[in-house]
Structure 1
Amino acid sequence: MLKHPPISSKLPVMMHGADYNPDQWLHDPKVLEEDIRLMKLAGCNVMSVGIFAWAALEPEEGKFNFEWLDRVLDRLYENGIYFWLATPSGARPAWMSYKYPEVLRVGPNRVRNLHGHRHNHCYSSPVYREKTRIMNTKLAERYSKHPGILGWHVSNEYGGECHCDYCQEGFREWLKKKYGTLDALNHAWWTPFWSHTYTDWSQIESPSPHGENAVHGHNLDWRRYVTDRTIDFCKHEIAPLKAINPDLPVTTNMMEVIPFDGLDYRKFADILDVISWDAYPTWHDAESDKKEAVKFAFNHDLFRTIKGKPFLLMESTPSLTNWQPVSKLKRPGMHKLSSLQAVAHGSDSVQYFQWRKSRGSSEKFHGAVVDHVGHEHTRVFRDVAELGETLANMKEIVGTSTPAEVAVLFDWDNRWAINDAQGPRNMGIHYERTVLEHYAALWQYGVPVDIIGIEDDISKYKVISAPMLYMCSEETGRKLEQFVENGGTLVGTYWSGVVDETDLCHLGGFPGPLRRTLGIWAEEIEGLYPHDKNGLVMNEGNRLGLTGVYETHEICELAHAETAQVLGVYEGDFYAGCPALTVNELGKGRAYYMATRLKSDFLDAFYRKVVDEAGVKRVLNADLPEGVTAQVRTDGERDYVFVMNFSGAEQRVKLDGSDYADFETGQSAGEELLLNVNGIKILVRPSRYSG
């Protein structure tokens, strides 16, 4: 499907708005009316309301006050502004913490927290679950038929874990369901090591800094349990909302997956109608913003891929944050560029945290549309209003798809296992950075990419890049083998096929289930010190047509080519001349293998050859300057091409045809684009894709 229905039929346009916290301003009724005037001036059509409003909605146990929220929602709707209504479970009122201390989390050190912060509550607590059910039921009863509601914004940035008695018992029940017997669990966790064998379920506790924390299967299962427990609580929140009006969509705002690794977000796909997330890049910390642009493009692609359709950018900042190491202002043009980057990768909204700056507390200096000065005569407000005009004309792009023929495999279980393993380079195995480096080569070449997990359908792709697939089950191995046999191209690397799904090493030679697919046997692996270097020497006449020597660093795997063809060898050390780059023909497809970590010069050249060899469509068949990329959304009749300049300098791009029009002006785009610093051009052409 190349065109999806809009997220809400009530507002079938690009959503533009912010988190709105009127509960902070109840002492001054004039603020609401001024906010509405400014919202209309900025071209905002949606607000997320009530995210942290529990204390204002239920100031005392059982005493509810919804009248203020009635006024806010009615006034918004009367002025053409719709809303996502939040459930306020992200932070509970003080009266609850002190009357029912069991709602507070217990840390890994087994000490219960004091009241404070956000998400400092136990997802297993019967009291907290009951209080949440009551609140959500009352909200749904009162507002689910309101003409201005678009859907439910459930909680806020779920995260963290609890180690209380409720959660310990829940973990044990989760393990019983998974393994059935202690014998099976002891085998999966390899507990005979260090005499850690369990003889009763009651002996099992969550990992702790002053207890068990060195059994990798145990650590992995705890992380899986935390995700499942969080999802269970999210389902508990959703149930009363759907019971009263099942037609309203639900979402919960997620966080940047690099660095946040606490929850496997893909598992939320089945319970959420819409995926949304919060993006806070640290722009302008280098001469070029390419590195940061790559990271956030990767995130956008991942969140789009979770449900295979447009997502919402639920939070971003129109200026700066106040919690990053350096709070840098957005340079001219960056607000539009970074916002439309999200749209280019599949967002049908641009929303901010927050609408009006708080006067006090920890985020009083966090960027917002309306500053403490309180009026529209600011640079930030002008940037927001300008973007609002652009978004207002993008209705036809709403619901369009990203036609990716390439996927990068990035799986949470694999990530958790790699980062917990004690292996070749404990000073930094750099899994996430490595994945981004492989993705960056595709980004620079202007290739649309999906970010997939091991459970996703892979049959539709022409190329799959799977860096460091350390955790690879027999089932995953068969799946990738079949993909290659059917004509796909797989790119694999060192430190792949090492352990199974319970974190037990494969026996019989690495890369385990990938050995036949890659056509190699990996005998040893070593980590390099930062000052160590080696090189990949390309063999003369290799099928990729690459020549010369490419620097390698950090990781070198010593492998033997079995059925694979050697494309390049190590330059130095005692393994000079050993295979460093191979390709294996299998069925109708092929599998490449990098035995060593390589830098961007090689990855850029390599992926260009692989993409072209596989017949993958690029967005533009044109030379893209360093730091400039192209992304496409399509409805099958028209392609909307976003050409974005993150290079930090003015750039020119020659187009690959004369059938392009400038989306914003309607005029012919000509033969060459001029991109200003932080510049973006949106082009329209007849579609080169079909359903």
Structure 2
Amino acid sequence: MKLLVTKQFVFPNDDSARKFQHSSTLNLNNGSPFMTHLPYNGGNNRKGGFFVTSHTPFSRFLFGGDYNPEQWPRSVWADDMQILTDVHMNEATINVFSWAQLQPSEAEYDFSTLDDIVATLTKNHFDIVLATSTAALPAWLATRYPEVTRTDYDGRHAQFGGRHNACPNSPVFRHYSALLAGKLAERYGHLANVVCWHISNEYGSYCYCANCARAFRVWLRQKYGSLTALNDAWYTHFWGHTFYDWEEIVPPTALSDGIGPDHIVLSAMGIDYRRFQSDSLLQNLVDEKTAIRDFDPDTPITTNMMGTFKDLDYFKWAKALDIVSWDSYPAYDTPHSEVAMRHDLMRGLKGGQPFMLMEQTPSQQNWQPYNATKRPGQMRAMSYQAIAHGADTIQYFQLHQGRGGTEKFHGAIISHADHDETRIIRETRALGSELAATGPQLMNGRTHAKVGIIFDWENYWSLEYSSGPSVELKYVDQIRRYYAAFYRQNVAVDMIPTNLSATEMAHYDVIVAPVLIMVKPGVSAALHQYVENGGTFVTTYMSGINDENDQVIMGGYPGPFRDLCGIWAEEIDALPPHTSIPVQFGDSHVSGSIVANVSHLEGAQNLASYGGADFYADTPAVTVNPWGNGQAYYVGTVLDDAGLDVLVDRLIQEKQLAHFETPTDVELTTRYYDGYALHFLINNTAHPATVDTSRFTGLPTLIGTNAVQAETILAPYDVLVIKDKE
């Protein structure tokens, strides 16, 4: 870790123009030395324990965000520094989209403007998160080497423009992006206030060009070894798709096997292409990380993720990062439970390690259909919600609102009003003051969760590639519904991968795996052992259906969990839109929707039955089966919130799970530190809320005015942080 110490600001390679000259000759043949790939490992390459004991690498709580002074005359910079310092900001993320400025042509580098930006921030005591600028190609690169731009799903090859516009398997792109990252590290990596490297920006989107086709075939050879194994895995006898030569394989697009972006004739091919593209983009990050490490061996490296973003296997990506960071942009109607779930997912990527909230907006987005402004106090509440769930930084996009381009209406600390006393600045100053006073005490907390919910990107892809039974089955929504039921009871949850060992699973009293449609090698055995040892497993409809190649596991649903759950499902009924089926769950009248499994008991106890007049009325809807020292629950339909509450209440009572009752959308979340704990009580609503806080009577507040009373009235979007013994 690099500490903030006084250090002379000196650039390497001293020359008056502060420019680098470079020329190179590239080998653009198929055997390019730049065409290397991470080995395929099925996403199951975790070594050692899952749970990480780790501290944030920063010496102070970072409060800042994206700053683009290159868009403004230098005369503006001094005013910006005065305002940002006044609101207690201490960090700026810079150089995110500056490749065209840093490298005006193939043979010329110009760091003069960036030098001045870094010098200005250093003079004003700002920490710097330094981006590598490789998320948007310069025009000369796309013009001189057209193969660097992407080909989309419809087969259209892009011209210069936009961002996220590089083919990840272009040897030219891989060469120049890594070269730039290395030059930046050589020039700035020695600076004490460069506290983190930010590679590229919001990686995503796929390419289907000739480069990718060739690289895909290489990736497939590494994975399968032979066409016989590939044909078997892909079930290629279907529709006469058998391959007899590697060159016959092309990416699944609208011009080949694509039925639509989420439907492929051979779903196993589609999932493999997603694995391949995720690996390819990850290799781009590794290229740049390697180049940085040649000059800077210590500074943490990250890239900003996007929560439940579909295209990239973030559990695999997190292994290449020193710290996870992510961008949180909920819509005006995003459930608060879903925002919390995404925070917990980001914390879970590295086994509970604190993460960076790299971006959020202080006021409003610009790119959603309806970009509502955050109400007074809402920015503060959402910032503390992030901290409560594991964030050790609070950063925004952006610090100064741009005058042009597609993001000119995206909110910022310094707005178009160009005034230092706007509502947003006043709120930022108040939050900054709190963080300046308490920031070190908020950092390096841990979450003691006894419930783990499995989130897995390959299952995400498999469920949404399924042609049936219902288009309404969306992976993230199904996971969120179970998370939300625990959230309503303020039960702490970890989001976990599929590939934990039974020993690692034993950390949890309850493991929930909604729609675990793809069962990869080792997963069933680990879950069986977990339950055998006393754990409680909860799974649902659409679980245990496919193997790692997306082929159905024969013998009836839920496949390898049939004995564990003590139930056999022979049919899946898809309910029409906006309809439901009554379910009698103990004394509660609840309902199910979307799908309903037609099931038979094989040792399980029936807890809830379908009502109505259909042919499967009175058959099991929710069951529990004893297994060894534990038990397994199986839920056969998409229960409504009331039904999920009944289930979670039962689990709370059975496992004595720590919970806390609050009004709707008021949450209590706890982080544990060395010698103390912090309870974050947050009102996420625009209405006052009264909370029974008698459990904490007399405890001091870290954020708040007095010791806690037996009853607390929270103003709209108010926050109380209670300090407790560990």
Tell me the TM-score normalised to structure 2 length: 0.89
Q: One-letter code of the match for 2:381?
A: L
Question: Counterpart of 1:268?
Answer: 317
Question: Counterpart of 2:634?
Answer: 593
The Cα offsets for residues 400-453 of structure 1, whole Å up to 9 and x where unpaired, read as: 111111111111111101101112213x11332121111001111111111111
Q: One-letter code of the match for 2:683?
A: N
Determine which of 565, 576, 583 is the counterpart of 1:529.
Answer: 576
8 Å Cα contact 1:659-1:685 kept in structure 2: no
The Cα offsets for residues 249-273 of structure 1, whole Å up to 9 and x where unpaired, read as: 100001131xx30111111121100
Q: One-letter code of the match for 1:617?
A: A
Determine which of 625, 630, 644 is the counterpart of 1:584.
Answer: 625
Determine which of 440, 454, 460 is the counterpart of 1:415.
Answer: 460
Q: One-letter code of the match for 1:22?
A: P
Question: Counterpart of 1:16?
Answer: 63
More off after superposition, 33-42 vs 652-661? 652-661
The Cα offsets for residues 76-134 of structure 1, whole Å up to 9 and x where unpaired, read as: 12221110111010001111111111111112233310110001111111111111122
State yes or no: 1:182 paired with 2:232. Answer: no
Instruction: Quote how far apart the aligned CAs of 1:643 are.
Output: 1.1
Question: Counterpart of 1:677?
Answer: 716
Question: Counterpart of 1:292?
Answer: 335
Provide the C-alpha distance between the structure 2 equivalents of 1:685 and 1:347, rounded to a whole number of angstroms: 19
Instruction: Quote how far apart the aligned CAs of 1:299 are.
Output: 0.5
For 1:142-291, list aligned pairs within 5 A: 142-213=187-258, 214-257=265-308, 260-283=309-332, 285=333
Q: One-letter code of the match for 2:712?
A: L
The Cα offsets for residues 555-610 of structure 1, whole Å up to 9 and x where unpaired, read as: 10011111211112111211111111110011111111111111001112221220
Question: Counterpart of 2:434?
Answer: 390
Question: Counterpart of 1:641?
Answer: 679
More off after superposition, 377-386 vs 61-70? 61-70
Provide the C-alpha distance between the structure 1 equivalents of 2:440 and 2:634, rounded to a whole number of angstroms: 44
Determine which of 602, 607, 620 is the counterpart of 1:567.
Answer: 607
Cα 1:186–1:75, aligned 2, differ >3 Å: closer, same or farther?
same
State yes or no: 1:6 paired with 2:56. Answer: yes
What is the DSSP-based 3-state SS (H/G/I as helix, E as strand, rest coil) of the residue aligned with 2:494?
strand
Tell me the TM-score normalised to structure 1 length: 0.94
Identity of aligned residues (%): 38
Question: Counterpart of 1:606?
Answer: 647
Provide the C-alpha distance between the structure 2 equivalents of 1:31 and 1:134, rounded to a whole number of angstroms: 32
Provide the C-alpha distance between the structure 1 equivalents of 2:704 and 2:641, rounded to a whole number of angstroms: 37
State yes or no: 1:429 paired with 2:473. Answer: yes
What is the DSSP-based 3-state SS (H/G/I as helix, E as strand, rest coil) of the residue aligned with 2:339?
helix
Instruction: Quote how far apart the aligned CAs of 1:360 are.
Output: 0.7
Question: Counterpart of 1:517?
Answer: 564
Question: Counterpart of 1:542?
Answer: none
More off after superposition, 328-337 vs 607-616? 607-616
What is the DSSP-based 3-state SS (H/G/I as helix, E as strand, rest coil) of the residue aligned with 1:506?
coil
The Cα offsets for residues 502-556 of structure 1, whole Å up to 9 and x where unpaired, read as: 0010012221111111111111111001243321123xxxxxxx41321111110
Gaps of 5+ in 1: 286-290, 539-545
What is the DSSP-based 3-state SS (H/G/I as helix, E as strand, rest coil) of the residue aligned with 1:23?
helix
What is the DSSP-based 3-state SS (H/G/I as helix, E as strand, rest coil) of the residue aligned with 1:299?
helix
Question: Counterpart of 2:7?
Answer: none
For 1:292-441, list aligned pairs within 5 A: 292-307=335-350, 308-392=352-436, 393-426=438-471, 428-441=472-485
8 Å Cα contact 2:182-2:288 kept in structure 1: no
Question: Counterpart of 2:6?
Answer: none
The Cα offsets for residues 643-665 of structure 1, whole Å up to 9 and x where unpaired, read as: 11224421111122425222124
Question: Counterpart of 1:105?
Answer: 150
What is the DSSP-based 3-state SS (H/G/I as helix, E as strand, rest coil) of the residue aligned with 1:432?
helix
8 Å Cα contact 2:307-2:343 kept in structure 1: no
Question: Counterpart of 2:26?
Answer: none
Instruction: Quote how far apart the aligned CAs of 1:38 are.
Output: 1.2
Question: Counterpart of 1:625?
Answer: 663
8 Å Cα contact 1:486-1:588 kept in structure 2: yes
Q: One-letter code of the match for 1:5?
A: H
Cα 1:130–1:531, aligned 2, differ >3 Å: closer, same or farther?
closer
What is the DSSP-based 3-state SS (H/G/I as helix, E as strand, rest coil) of the residue aligned with 2:433?
helix
Gaps of 5+ in 2: 1-50, 259-264
What is the DSSP-based 3-state SS (H/G/I as helix, E as strand, rest coil) of the residue aligned with 2:417?
coil
The CA RMSD measured in Å over matched residues stands at 1.5
What is the DSSP-based 3-state SS (H/G/I as helix, E as strand, rest coil) of the residue aligned with 1:394?
helix
Cα 1:405–1:48, aligned 2, differ >3 Å: closer, same or farther?
same
